[in-house]
């Protein structure tokens, strides 16, 4: 079977494209951007040789989810990049150096003064704009913090933390509000409080409350009411950063991402479940496939498989049609096909000759044997009615001239040169009766 070369090339290009696509998905290109992403998705947090998370600030703005690393790269992600149904953050944007993304901030003298003494980074949404707030701690420097207007591209004086105990500030989507986490001085358990901005200051509006495990198996947590203590073990996660999105806390510690509902804070003493994720499972870098990729895209993959199957079937049909109509195919196989048709025609002619021989043989057989062939020839009430109309005599209707115009003579092509016309009319008259 011969196929045109361009068709063969087309098929091979399809297979080659499929193989290269699969290989591209499973291969990680170690570019600078991917190195930054994989440094975040590392299960053991190491940034510049220290046991710290390479995240300066992460949280929601009006339009995006922003993540800024400590080496000053900016991920500007769509809000849909965070899939709260499976707790995955897809870092599907290329990180941009802060010097390119926010040159006004990066080149400001105030930022260059404090960028080696940063204490906390978080986002604030107020009534007019979005702010990136970078604070300092008065125990380490006398310099104040900085506020950067993300929408209007302006740098302003920011906040300086004056507390005695180190705290981690957690961004939220609420207007001018964020959480603060610290470890209790009594039992080293984790505590949580709410801060709000008031003019040029940030003040605590709700005191710290203790975070405890809700059961002995440590599968749930409870945030106690004010001045209450834990009935089970107190939580001692080493939280380094975090944010709130889709009514969930995403708290980043040294090894895991701790995820639980915000209802734990809003409803005191209500146990909520904990979902613990490794960084390699929570952060999904471009070119990598998470463990739930196929489960998440099951419907899409099934549709693609069906489409590919249909296209393959159509391609096979087209190839078959082109092969049968190809000049070389007709030249080599046309004679064979014509011989098959001729063979069938000769077989049909032999069958007709055998029927004629049988008809001749009936002239010398008794009437009882001829009646055995009656169903084959005329045992049909419609033919009987057609051959024997009531307005004509039987003798007139059974003449050979009349019979030659109807079903019997048309079905059996009788060779009149071999059959006696008189014998034929007499014998078949008996059959009709």
The domain boundary, picked from 262, 286, 310, lies at: 286
21 lies in a domain? no
Instruction: Let me know if residue 276 belongs to a domain.
Output: yes
- pTM for the predicted model, two decimal places: 0.62
User: Quick one: pLDDT at residue 318?
Assistant: 76
Number of folded domains that form the chain: 2
Same domain? 373 vs 254: no
248 with 340, same domain?
Answer: no
Residue 265 shares a structural domain with residue 395: no
Does 308 reside within a domain? no
Same domain, 278 and 354: no
Whole-number Å distance between alpha carbons of 90 and 286: 8
> 333 and 263, same structural domain?
no
Among 286, 303, 337, give the residue marking a domain's end. Answer: 286
CA 373, 374, 378, 380 dihedral sign is negative
Is 299 part of any domain?
Answer: no
Domain assignment of residue 91, given as a range: 28-286
Is the same domain home to 343 and 265? no
Decide if 315 is inside a domain: no
CATH of the domain at 32: 2.110.10
Kindly list the averaged pLDDT for each block of 10 residues, start to end, along the chain of length 433: 48 52 45 80 58 87 94 94 93 92 95 91 93 93 93 93 92 93 90 90 92 93 92 93 95 94 94 94 76 54 81 77 59 53 56 53 49 48 46 47 48 49 50 48
Residue 8 lies in a domain: no
Q: How far is CA 4 from CA 7, 92, 284, 362, in A?
A: 6, 43, 45, 60
Question: What pLDDT score was predicted for residue 298?
Answer: 60
Residues in Cβ contact with 315 at an 8 Å cutoff, skipping those fewer than 6 apart: 11
> Cβ(43)–Cβ(280) under 8 Å?
yes
Residue 196 lies in a domain: yes
- What pLDDT score does 50 carry? 47
Q: 231 and 341 share a domain?
A: no
pLDDT at residue number 359: 52
pLDDT at 111: 94
Residue 47 lies in a domain: yes
Same domain, 269 and 405: no
Q: Are 269 and 336 in the same domain?
A: no
Within this chain, do residues 132 and 233 fall inside the same structural domain, yes or no? yes
Same domain, 96 and 235: yes
Out of 254, 286, 318, pick the residue that ends a domain: 286
361 and 424 in a single domain? The answer is yes
């Amino acid at each position: 079977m011969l196929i045109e070369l361009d068709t063969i090339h087309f098929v091979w290009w399809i297979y080659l494209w499929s193989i290269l696509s699969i290989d591209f998905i499973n291969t990680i290109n170690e570019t600078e951007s991917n190195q930054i992403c994989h440094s975040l998705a590392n299960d053991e947090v190491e940034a510049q040789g220290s046991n710290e998370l390479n995240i300066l600030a992460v949280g929601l703005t009006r339009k995006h989810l922003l993540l800024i690393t400590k080496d000053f790269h900016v991920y500007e992600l769509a809000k849909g990049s965070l899939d709260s149904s499976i707790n995955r953050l897809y870092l599907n944007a290329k990180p941009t150096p802060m010097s390119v993304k926010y040159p006004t901030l990066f080149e400001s003298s105030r930022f260059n003064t404090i960028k080696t003494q940063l204490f906390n980074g978080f986002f604030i949404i107020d009534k007019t704009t979005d702010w990136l707030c970078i604070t300092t701690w008065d125990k380490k420097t006398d310099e104040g913090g900085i506020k950067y207007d993300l929408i209007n591209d302006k740098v302003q004086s920011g906040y300086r933390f004056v507390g005695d105990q180190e705290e981690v500030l957690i961004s939220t989507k609420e207007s001018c509000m964020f959480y603060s986490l610290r470890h209790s001085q009594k039992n080293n358990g984790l505590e949580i409080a709410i801060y709000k901005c008031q003019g040029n200051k940030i003040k605590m509006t709700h005191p710290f409350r203790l975070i405890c495990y809700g059961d002995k198996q440590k599968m749930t947590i409870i945030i106690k009411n004010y001045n209450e203590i834990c009935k089970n073990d107190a939580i001692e996660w080493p939280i380094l950063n975090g944010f709130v999105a889709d009514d969930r806390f995403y708290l980043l510690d040294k090894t895991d991402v701790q995820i639980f509902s915000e209802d734990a804070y809003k409803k005191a003493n209500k146990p909520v479940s904990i979902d613990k994720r490794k960084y390699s499972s929570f952060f999904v870098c471009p070119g990598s496939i998470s463990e739930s990729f196929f489960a998440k895209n099951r419907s899409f993959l099934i549709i693609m498989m069906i489409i590919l199957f249909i296209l393959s079937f159509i391609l096979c049909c087209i190839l078959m049609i082109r092969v049968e109509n190809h000049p070389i195919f007709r030249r080599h196989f046309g004679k064979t096909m014509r011989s098959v048709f001729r063979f069938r025609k000769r077989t049909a002619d032999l069958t007709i000759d055998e029927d004629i021989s049988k008809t001749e043989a009936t002239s010398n057989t008794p009437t009882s044997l001829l009646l055995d062939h009656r169903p084959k020839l005329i045992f049909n009430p419609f033919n009987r009615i057609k051959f024997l109309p009531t307005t004509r005599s039987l003798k007139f209707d059974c003449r050979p001239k009349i019979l030659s115009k109807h079903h019997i003579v048309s079905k059996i092509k009788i060779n009149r040169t071999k059959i006696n016309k008189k014998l034929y009319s007499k014998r078949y008259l008996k059959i009709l009766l």
